[in-house]
C-alpha cells in the first residue's frame, strides 16, 4: 500500500529532514539514504521502521545539516566552491538576484558534515523520535487510503452475494430446458418403442447431477462471508488471507459458469467475474 510521511526538526545545533515513502510489495524492502553521521545507526534505524511498518517497498531519506560550525565540523571546500560557482553562473544567466547562496549550499548533502560519526545521546534520541513519528505519519496515510479500499472491497463482495439469489431464478428453468433438449435429441435418433424408460430417466438424473450447481452456490456464499469476516478483524496484516479467499471465490465462479448451460446464468457469472477481478487488483494493495 502506498504511503507518505515527512517531518522536519530544527534546533540550535542542526536541521533534520526525514522523508519516508512506501509502494506496494509482497515483502518488506527498505532502502535508506543516510548522512555520514548516522551510518553507524543504520541497523537501529531499520528496526525502528520495520517495527512500525509491514509489507511494502520503503524509501527512507534523512538529510541532516549542522547549523553551527564548531571545531568538530568541517566544510568540503572543493564541493562548496563548485556549488557556489555553479549557482552564481545560473543566477547570472537567469538574471536572478536574491537568496542566500551560502546557506543554500551548506544544506546540500556532504558539503557540511560532522567530523565525528557519533551523535551524543540527546541528539540520537531526538532523531529516533522524529523517525518514529514519520513512520506513524506514513501509517496514518495508509489507514486513510485503506478505509476507502475497504469500502470498495465490501461493495464488490456484496455485489457477488446479490447475484447468487438471481442464479436460482433461472436454475429451475434451466433444468426443464435441458431435459426437453435431451428428450428431443433422443426421440430424433432412437425408436421410442425400444427405449427402456426407467434407464432413460436414470441417465437424465445422472446428467442433471453432473450439472448441479448447488454445492458451488453454497461454497461461493461461504467464501464471500468469510472474506467479509477477515476484513472485519483487527489484524494488522490480512492481505494474504484475503488473496487466498479471493482465489477460492474465483474457482467457484468458474465452475458455476462451466456448469451453467444457461445464457442468463452466464451473464450473472460474467458480472461476478468482473467484480472479482477488481477485488484481486485491490487486494494486492492490502497489507
Could you state, in order of their start, the residue ranges of all structural domains in the chain?
3-144, 148-283
Q: Cα–Cα distances in Å, from 130 out to 42, 110, 124?
A: 15, 21, 10
pLDDT of residue 37: 80
Contact 116, 40 (CB under 8 A): no
* Rounded Cα distance, 1 and 19, in Å: 17
Cα 39 off chain centre by: 31
Residues 186 and 195: beta-carbon distance below 8 Å: yes
pLDDT given for residue 207 in this prediction: 66
Q: What is the dihedral of CA 203, 206, 207, 209, to 10 degrees?
A: 160
Q: How many CA atoms lie within 13 A of 256 on its CB side?
A: 31
Ranges of H-type helices in 117-194: 121-189
pTM: 0.59
Measured in whole angstroms, how far is the alpha carbon of residue 240 from the centre of its chain? Answer: 10
CA atoms of 87 and 102, how far apart (whole Å):
10
pLDDT at 240: 82
How high is the pLDDT of residue 199? 65
For the chain, the straight-line distance linking the first and the last C-alpha, in angstroms and rounded, comes to 7
One pLDDT digit (tens) per residue for the chain, 287 residues: 678 899 988 877 778 899 999 887 777 889 999 888 888 889 999 999 988 887 788 999 998 876 655 455 566 677 778 877 887 777 777 776 666 777 777 767 666 655 454 677 888 888 999 999 999 999 888 888 788 888 889 999 999 999 988 888 887 777 777 777 766 666 665 655 556 666 666 666 666 666 778 888 899 999 999 999 988 887 767 778 888 999 999 999 998 888 877 888 889 999 999 999 999 888 877 76
Helix and strand element counts for the chain (H, E): 8, 6
Work out the angle between the directed axes of helices 42-50 and 121-189 (0-180°, nearest 10): 40
Identify the pLDDT of residue 272: 93
Report the C-alpha gap between 124 and 64 in whole angstroms.
Answer: 12
Inter-residue contact 219 to 250 (CB < 8 Å): no
pLDDT of residue 109: 67
**What span, in angstroms and rounded, lies between the C-alpha atoms of 64 and 11?**
11
Q: What is the model's pLDDT at position 67?
A: 66
Q: Which residue has the cell 426443464?
A: 176
Of residues 224, 231, 210, the one with CA closest to residue 286: 231
Instruction: Report DSSP state, residue 57.
Output: E
> CA 65 to CA 63: how far, in whole Å?
7
Sign of the alpha-carbon dihedral angle for 234, 240, 243, 245? negative
- Report the b/e string of 75-98 with b at 16+ CB within 10 A: eeeeebeebeeebeeeeeeeeeee
Contact present, 101 and 59 (Cβ < 8 Å)? no
pLDDT value, residue 143: 81
Distance between CA atoms of residues 82 and 79, nearest Å: 5
Residue 176, CA atoms < 13 Å, CB-side half-sphere:
5
Amino acid at each position: 500500500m502506498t504511503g507518505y510521511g515527512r517531518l522536519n526538526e530544527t534546533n540550535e545545533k542542526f536541521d533534520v529532514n526525514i522523508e519516508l515513502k512506501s509502494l506496494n510489495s509482497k515483502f518488506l524492502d527498505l532502502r535508506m539514504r543516510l548522512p555520514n553521521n548516522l551510518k553507524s545507526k543504520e541497523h537501529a534505524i531499520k528496526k525502528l521502521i520495520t517495527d512500525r511498518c509491514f509489507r511494502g517497498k520503503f524509501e527512507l531519506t534523512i538529510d541532516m545539516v549542522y547549523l553551527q560550525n564548531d571545531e568538530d565540523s568541517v566544510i568540503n571546500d572543493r564541493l562548496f566552491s563548485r556549488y557556489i560557482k555553479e549557482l552564481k553562473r545560473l543566477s547570472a544567466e537567469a538574471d536572478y538576484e536574491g537568496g542566500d547562496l551560502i546557506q543554500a549550499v551548506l544544506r546540500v548533502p556532504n558539503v557540511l558534515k560532522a567530523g565525528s560519526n557519533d551523535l551524543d545521546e540527546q541528539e540520537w534520541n531526538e532523531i529516533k523520535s522524529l523517525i518514529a513519528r514519520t513512520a506513524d505519519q506514513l501509517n496514518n496515510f495508509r489507514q486513510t487510503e485503506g478505509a476507502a479500499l475497504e469500502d470498495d472491497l465490501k461493495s464488490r463482495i456484496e455485489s457477488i452475494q446479490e447475484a447468487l439469489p438471481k442464479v436460482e431464478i433461472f436454475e429451475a428453468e434451466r433444468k426443464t430446458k435441458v431435459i426437453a433438449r435431451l428428450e428431443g435429441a433422443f426421440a430424433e435418433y432412437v425408436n421410442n418403442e425400444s427405449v427402456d424408460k426407467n434407464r432413460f430417466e436414470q441417465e437424465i438424473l445422472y446428467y442433471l447431477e453432473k450439472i448441479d450447481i448447488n454445492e458451488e452456490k453454497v461454497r461461493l456464499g461461504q467464501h464471500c462471508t468469510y472474506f467479509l469476516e477477515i476484513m472485519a478483524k483487527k489484524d494488522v496484516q490480512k492481505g494474504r488471507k484475503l488473496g487466498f479467499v479471493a482465489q477460492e471465490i474465483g474457482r467457484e465462479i468458474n465452475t458455476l459458469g462451466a456448469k451453467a448451460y444457461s445464457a442468463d446464468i452466464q451473464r450473472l457469472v460474467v458480472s461476478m467475474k468482473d467484480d472479482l477481478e477488481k477485488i484481486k487488483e485491490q487486494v494486492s494493495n492490502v497489507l
